[in-house]
Amino acid sequence: MDKHFTITIHDENGVKQFNIHKFVKKAFVYALGFVVSMVLIASATILYLDYSVDKVQEKKDSIEQAYLALEEKNRSLQESINETNLELSGKKKELDELADSLSEIEILIGISPVEDLSLQERVSITKVNSQHKAVLLQLIPNGSPIPYSGITSKFGNRMHPTLNRNEFHRGTDMKAKMNTPVQATADGIVEFAGTHNKSGFGRLVILEHSYGFKSYYGHLNKIVVKSGTFVKKGELIAYSGNSGMSSGPHLHYEIRFLHRVVNPFWFIKWTLENYNEIFEKEKKIPWQSLITATAHLQLSTQTQTLPLSQLVLKSKEQLN
């Protein structure tokens, strides 16, 4: 079998023929096929890699977007945490200030703070004690019956200004101009309202209060309440004057407990701010049993005493 083949080339120089062995021909064909195959494989590989790169890029973009979204969410969450911490800090400050204020109130009303109690429990105890004290300050004479401007004659032994003799002064003479409005110093009933010549008090109002207390208001110019009527703390009852055995305009203020006179000065000074002071100064009254007996009482509303400026204005309207 002939294993050669001839290649004929025609050009301007004539015809040339080349004899090529068939093995070389096959090798050439195989080589060409290999090259074509490699080109196809390389093209396919490139296309696949390009596709894979696109997919990877898409995944990368997706991850970056997810990361940005997560970062934004974390930022919002951090802002929310910061705002919450700021609010908590403010609330803590408010609670600290409340605790400090509560401690001051506890000291003011005579309660020893207990560390084991919660703030709510301490508030409840304080509220109960405040209510109890409000009851006592509503029912028992306290505070000044007139705008306080001093005392002309104290409780105790003195030289009588008109009789010129040494005698026991049962009350306190308070400085007051004519027609100064006089207030009830506690809730009570008007026991007497009129001229009381035997005592020398002139025009006199006697209020009977709870638990054996009475208050006397003497040397008045005008009385605006009637016997048998009820009055509230801070209510206008009269106007100061110079009636009876008096050397000048003033108010004779007197307090009695079970018909025994007590020093009115400590009751004039008695307020919520110095609540415990009267228990130390006035020993004639069994305070402990009184406090125990009134511990269950509560006021639906506490009387709000009119400011003295409003009381003066109101009194002028009534006088006119």
User: pLDDT (tens digit, 9 = 90+) per residue, 140-174?
Assistant: 999 999 999 888 888 877 666 665 667 888 899 99
CA-CA distance, 99 to 119, in Å (whole number)? 7
DSSP state of 212: G
Taking residues 298-308, report their average pLDDT.
58
Which conformational region is residue 156 in: left (phi greater than 0), alpha (psi within -120 to 50 degrees), or beta? Answer: left
Residues 198, 203, 206: CA angle, nearest 5 degrees: 85
- Distance (Å, whole) CA 186 – CA 188: 6
- Calculate mean pLDDT across residues 227-240: 96
Task: Please name the amino acid found at residue 158.
Answer: R
Phi, psi of 247 (to 5 degrees): -95, 0
Beta pairing partners, 153:
173
Polymer length in residues for the chain: 320
Confidence check: pLDDT of 185 > 90: yes
Q: How far apart are CA 306 and CA 32, in angstroms?
A: 119
Antiparallel, parallel or unpaired: β 230-231 and 250-257 = unpaired
As a whole number of Å, the CA-based R_g of the chain is 53
Question: Which of 94-98, 204-208, 277-281 ranks highest by mean pLDDT?
Answer: 204-208
Which of 48-52, 127-131, 307-311 is least confident?
307-311
Across-strand partners of 53? none
Residues ≥6 apart with Cβ < 8 Å to 129: 109, 110, 111
Residue 109 burial (10 A CB sphere; 0-12, 13-18, 19+)? middle
Six token digits for residue 199? 């005592």
Start-to-end CA distance of the chain, whole Å, equals: 158
- Which amino acid, residue 83? E
| Residue 287 pLDDT greater than 90, yes or no | no
Q: Is the pTM of this model over 0.75?
A: no
pLDDT band at 306 (very low <50, low <70, confident <90, very high): very low
What integer pLDDT is reported at residue 176 of this predicted model? 93
> Would you say 277 and 112 are in contact if contact means Cβ atoms under 8 Å apart?
no
Q: What is the largest CA-CA distance in the chain?
A: 176
For the record, the structure tokens of 151 come out as: 């005392």
- The whole-number average pLDDT for the span 191-200 is 90
Cβ contacts of 312 within 8 Å, gap of 6 or more = 147, 181
**Within a 13 Å sphere around the CA of 287, how many CA atoms are in the beta-carbon half?**
12
Read off the pLDDT of each residue in 10-34 and give the average, rounded to a whole number. Answer: 72
Q: What is the pLDDT of residue 5?
A: 59
Task: Retrieve residue 192's tokens.
Answer: 């007497």
Nearest to 106 by CA among 261, 252, 276: 276
Alpha-carbon gap, residue 220 to 243, rounded angstroms: 6
What distance in Å separates the CA atoms of residue 284 and residue 293, rounded to the nearest whole number? 17
Q: Collect all residues with Cβ–Cβ distance below 8 Å to 7 and sequence separation of at least 6.
A: 17, 18, 19, 20
- In 95-234, DSSP assigns E strands to 151-153, 156-159, 166-169, 172-175, 181-183, 188-196, 202-208, 213-223, 230-231
Q: For residue 150, what are its two tokens? A: 């001093």
